[in-house]
Amino acid sequence: MQVASLIQDAAKRLLAEGQVELVLGFSEGSLPLRSTPGFVRRPEDAVKLIWDHTCENNLAVYLLKRKSKTAIVAKGCDTRAIVTLIQENQVDRNNLYIIGVPCTGMIDRRKVEALLEGQELMAARVDHDQLTVEGKDLEKTVPLAEVLHDTCKACTCPNPVIYDELAGERVPEKPAGDFNGIEAFEAMMAGERKAYLAEELSRCIRCYACRQACPLCYCEECFVDCSTPQWIGKAARTEDNLLFQAVRVFHLAGRCADCGACERACPVGLKLSLLTRKMVKEVKDLFDYEAGLDLERKPVLTTFAVNDPQAFLVKE
Amino acid sequence: MIIKKSELSSFLDKLTGQYQVLAPVKKGLEFYFQPISSGVQADLSYSNSVTAPKGILFPQSETLFNYDVQGETADMQECLDTGKKVIFGLRPCDAKSLVLLDKVFHGEKYQDPYYLSRRANTVLVGLGCGEPRGTCFCASLDGGPFGTEGLDLLLVDIGDKYVVEVVSEKGASFLTGASLPLAGKDDRAAAAKAKETAFQACTINLEGLKEKMDVNYDDPVWGFLHEKCLGCGACTYSCPTCHCFDILDEVKDSTGCRVRNWDACMFPLFTLHGSGHNPRPTGKERFRQRFMHKFKYFVDNYGAFACVGCGRCILNCPVNIDIRQVLADIKAGGDEK
Ligand code: SF4
Ligand code: SF4
Ligand code: SF4
Ligand code: SF4
């Protein structure tokens, strides 16, 4: 059976039986290769739910502060965020029904745009593992794998780590991440890396879409919004933009689900995953910990082990 | 008059001697309005810039004045930008948005010297849209792909050259001394043809919207429209008509500056009072504010919708909230469909 119909059946059943009040899923978007989060409350509306390679948002962000019984459609990375939210007492597992979906990757529209030589994307279709896109007077077919988000290409967790029911067959597990995408970034010398980041972040418009799209960025008052004291310049100046991202990423150390939601939300196309994935890698190297993989394992920054590396301690 | 495409960059080169020239520049996949030092940097092969050129006249952050406090007195320097600028190749929708901003910053009660100084010293050279994007709906908002409102000059692409149409006196005097060749009969016919054939697929029907919004403040529709909105600034910061701002001081010891930054109604911090009270406490009120401001309050205050149909909010929203659909839902009203 199609994944979409499995999701629809589950949603319909859960709503009809009164097990949940709301199903969070994806519905048809208004532009080619776009879906939109779908909030479904009536069994008859379950047919609006879809599943395809455009369901890129991390819906876990909508679970915060939700009191009523909710079902959520969640990919592998989304479930990692959910695990961390449960561990951090932001989401009550008893109020949550997870419709897990094994994921084969989401399409990066910027990669598609790059194929179209400046033409507007008019239509797109996926046939097996090929994507065909149409511009005004141009049509191209490429292997789907080529146009997936970098975070999807490097994903080691395509299957949900936690779920109440699974929509679709599990997909083959991938080997542990080699962090390919960030190698070039890591290889830069400090000065070079700083110059690169400054050039990139000079484009940041401080819209905070990255922060808002991130399920783990839930501080009641973000340090950038604080005015007494004011920790950071509010203007979209490069040095403050750098500071904003640096602190954001540090605050996500050991928590980031590596889902790429921040990067997907950025309207100016900043490659934020270079920073977030670098941090994920640091945490893995230092503590052998990857966030959100195991509900039972204590979050790394809340525990202490005698053999934790302590390179930061001042030595005699 | 005409500008041959092959001579465009030398035309711009000459301008950069006399003006600060801002034109679309390609960075990665996107286009941004940026100061150029040489004509070759400008790239007019764009549909529109990610963020609106309004930021040139009303910057995202600007220092209003600097001060130095000594005992009981203070030394103060105002930062008025009086430099001569040309915005070259902006789209008609973005030019029209400046006419809307004029209503706010050049109002009866309030004159904004910072904006007005830049506005008075800036020449706007528009570029008509032969191929509107699928998300463009300017024609539904009293504009059009070749609209001239707000512009000083309009360029019409006719293949290997641009026909330059004079819109304002400022535009005419800008061209004196440029010694551009006159447009021939064929050129003018080609320009007329380009305007005729530009096809805008997308339209929205605004009939009855204002009347509806006069009475729908408590409509249940607001209860679900906002649900998937993340409360970011991607829509308002890219919008050419949004103009809310916040003012704060950046102080170090006895010196400081007063800075004005864009604000956005979708942020939780917007209208948060010092007491901690917020009249718009949740996403619902904030989302309603954005649409009320554009399609009701602005109409009440200035007699026009505060949207020019550029479609940027549609393209930039990370969760695909589409203003066209939102307006249709507002009009339909009632509960979740
Ligand atoms: S989404 Fe992009 S532009 Fe917006 S604040 Fe984040 S990094 Fe900056
Ligand atoms: S509301 Fe949207 S379509 Fe209208 S002017 Fe602003 S960004 Fe453009
Ligand atoms: S909205 Fe109209 S004026 Fe603006 S870019 Fe599109 S077609 Fe051109
Ligand atoms: S861009 Fe979209 S998600 Fe962000 S505030 Fe605007 S409508 Fe909401």
Q: Which of A210, A247, A242, A205 is nearest to A226 (CA)?
A: A247
Helix (H) or strand (E) holding A28: strand A22-28
Note whether B238 contacts A267, CB cutoff 8 Å.
yes
**Residue ending a domain, choose from B199, B221, B238:** B199
- Verify whether ligand 4 is closer than 6 Å to residue B232 (CB atom): yes
Q: Do A70 and A96 contact (CB within 8 A), yes or no?
A: yes
For chain A, the domains span 3-108+148-302, 109-147
Q: CA-CA-CA-CA torsion for B261, B238, A53, A62, nearest 10 degrees?
A: 40
Tokens of A195: 């110059």
Rounded-to-integer distance, Cα A2 and Cα A13, Å: 17
- Verify whether ligand 2 is closer than 6 Å to residue B313 (CB atom): yes
Note whether B318 contacts A136, CB cutoff 8 Å.
no
Q: Do B98 and B167 contact (CB within 8 A), yes or no?
A: no
Looking at the structure, do residues B52 and B133 belong to the same domain, yes or no? yes
Q: Phi and psi for A151 in degrees, rounded to 5?
A: -65, -35
Torsional class of B249: left (φ above 0), alpha (ψ -120 to 50), beta (otherwise): beta
- Verify whether ligand 1 is closer than 6 Å to residue A219 (CB atom): no
Looking at the structure, do residues B189 and B219 belong to the same domain, yes or no? no
pLDDT of residue A254: 94
List C-alpha distances in Å: B240 to A204, B111, B128, B236: 17, 20, 17, 8
Which of B230, B259, B268 is facing A209, going by the closest CB pair? Answer: B230
pLDDT digits (tens, 9 = 90+) for B277-295: 888 888 999 999 999 999 9
What is the mean pLDDT of the segment spanning B14-32? 94
To the nearest whole Å, the CA of B179 is away from the closest chain A CA by 33
Q: Residue holding tokens 């701002």?
A: B245
Torsional class of B205: left (φ above 0), alpha (ψ -120 to 50), beta (otherwise): beta
Q: Which atom of ligand 3 is nearest to the CA of B129?
A: 8
Please tell me which residue of chain B has the smallest CA distance to A226.
B269
Q: Which residues of B touch A41 (CB under 8 A)?
A: 336
DSSP A169: P
Q: Which atom of ligand 3 is nearest to the CA of B135?
A: 6
pLDDT of residue B145: 96
Q: Determine the residue among A47, A202, A268, A272 to mutate to test chain B binding: the one whose Cβ has the most chain B Cβ atoms within 10 Å.
A: A268
Q: Phi and psi for B32 in degrees, rounded to 5?
A: -130, 145
To the nearest whole Å, the CA of B59 is away from the closest chain A CA by 10
Q: Determine the residue among B60, B238, B319, B335 to mutate to test chain A binding: the one whose Cβ has the most chain A Cβ atoms within 10 Å.
A: B319
Rounded-to-integer distance, Cα B51 and Cα B92, Å: 15
Greatest C-alpha distance within chain A: 70
Note whether A207 contacts B322, CB cutoff 8 Å.
no
Note whether B228 contacts A36, CB cutoff 8 Å.
yes
Looking at the structure, do residues B166 and B308 belong to the same domain, yes or no? no
DSSP A298: P
To the nearest whole Å, the CA of B319 is away from the closest chain A CA by 6
Greatest C-alpha distance within chain B: 71
pLDDT of residue A316: 57
How far is ligand 2, taken at its centre, from the CA of residue B307, in Å?
Answer: 5
pLDDT digits (tens, 9 = 90+) for A62-90: 999 898 999 999 999 999 999 999 999 99
pLDDT at B332 > cutoff 90? yes
Is residue B300 included in any domain, yes or no?
Answer: yes
- For residue B248, the tally of other CB atoms under 10 A from its CB is 15
Please tell me which residue of chain B has the smallest CA distance to A225.
B269
Tokens of B149: 């409102």
What is the mean pLDDT of the segment spanning B127-137? 95
User: Residue whose CA is closest, atom 4 of ligand 3?
Assistant: B93
Q: Chain-centre distance of CA B249, in angstroms?
A: 26
pLDDT of residue A315: 62
Is residue B75 included in any domain, yes or no?
Answer: no
- Verify whether ligand 2 is closer than 6 Å to residue B239 (CB atom): yes
Where are the extended beta strands (E) located within B71-186? Answer: 73-78, 85-90, 122-127, 153-157, 161-166
Report the domain count for chain B: 2
Looking at the structure, do residues B150 and B226 belong to the same domain, yes or no? no
- Determine the structural domain holding residue B189 and report its residue range: 2-58+80-199
Helix (H) or strand (E) holding B259: strand B255-262
Is residue B337 included in any domain, yes or no?
Answer: no
Residue ranges of alpha helices (H) inside B37-175 are 54-57, 92-105, 113-120, 169-175
Is residue B225 included in any domain, yes or no?
Answer: yes
Looking at the structure, do residues B143 and B286 belong to the same domain, yes or no? no
How far is ligand 1, taken at its centre, from the CA of residue A152, in Å?
Answer: 20
Is residue B244 included in any domain, yes or no?
Answer: yes
Tokens of A246: 């640096």
Question: Which positions of chain A have pLDDT values less than 50?
Answer: none
To the nearest whole Å, the CA of B292 is away from the closest chain A CA by 21
pLDDT digits (tens, 9 = 90+) for B49-84: 999 999 999 999 999 999 999 989 999 999 999 999
Rounded-to-integer distance, Cα A157 and Cα A175, Å: 9
Q: Which residues of B touch A36 (CB under 8 A)?
A: 228, 319-321
Please tell me which residue of chain B has the smallest CA distance to A206.
B233
User: Residue whose CA is closest, atom 7 of ligand 2?
Assistant: B239
How far is ligand 1, taken at its centre, from the CA of residue B139, in Å?
Answer: 31
Looking at the structure, do residues B185 and B237 belong to the same domain, yes or no? no
Q: Phi and psi for A286 in degrees, rounded to 5?
A: -75, -45
Rounded-to-integer distance, Cα B154 and Cα B146, Å: 8
β-pairing verdict for B153-157 and B2-4: unpaired
Note whether A267 contacts B50, CB cutoff 8 Å.
yes
User: Residue whose CA is closest, atom 2 of ligand 1?
Assistant: A266
List C-alpha distances in Å: B19 to A9, A33, B41, B271: 64, 42, 15, 39
Out of A199, A207, A234, mutate this one to test ligand 1's pocket (max ligand atoms within 8 Å of CB): namely A207
- For residue B239, the tally of other CB atoms under 10 A from its CB is 25
Q: Phi and psi for B70 in degrees, rounded to 5?
A: -125, 105
Q: Which residues of A touch B261 (CB under 8 A)?
A: 234-235
pLDDT at B276 > cutoff 90? no
How far is ligand 2, taken at its centre, from the CA of residue B238, in Å?
Answer: 8
Q: CA-CA-CA-CA torsion for A74, A80, A85, A88, nearest 10 degrees?
A: 160
Which of A36, A39, A205 is facing B237, going by the closest CB pair? Answer: A205
Looking at the structure, do residues B94 and B148 belong to the same domain, yes or no? yes
Note whether A234 contacts B261, CB cutoff 8 Å.
yes
Residue ranges of alpha helices (H) inside A136-182 are 150-153
Q: Following DSSP, what letter does each residue of B204-237 receive, concatenated?
A: ---TTHHHHHHH-TT-THHHHHTTT----SHHHH
Pocket, ligand 3, Cβ cutoff 6 A: B 48, 91-93, 129, 132-133, 136, 138, 145, 309-310
Rounded-to-integer distance, Cα B275 and Cα B216, Å: 29
Q: Hey, CA dihedral for A56, A57, A59, A60, is it positive or negative?
A: positive
pLDDT at B253 > cutoff 70? yes
Please tell me which residue of chain A has the smallest CA distance to B231.
A212
Residues in B whose CB is inside 8 Å of some CB of A read 27-30, 32, 45, 47, 50-51, 60-61, 131, 133-135, 224, 227-228, 230-234, 237-238, 246, 248, 250, 259, 261, 264, 267-269, 314-316, 318-322, 324-325, 336
pLDDT band at B177 (very low <50, low <70, confident <90, very high): confident
pLDDT of residue A184: 87
Is residue B9 included in any domain, yes or no?
Answer: yes
**Residue ending a domain, choose from B176, B199, B222:** B199
pLDDT digits (tens, 9 = 90+) for B193-209: 999 998 888 889 999 99
Looking at the structure, do residues B217 and B280 belong to the same domain, yes or no? yes
Interior/surface letters B51-82, b for 16+ CB within 10 angstroms, e for the rest:
bbbbbbbbbbbbbeeebeeeeeeeeeeeeebe
- Verify whether ligand 1 is closer than 6 Å to residue A147 (CB atom): no
Out of B50, B137, B310, B312, mutate this one to test ligand 3's pocket (max ligand atoms within 8 Å of CB): namely B310
pLDDT of residue B109: 86
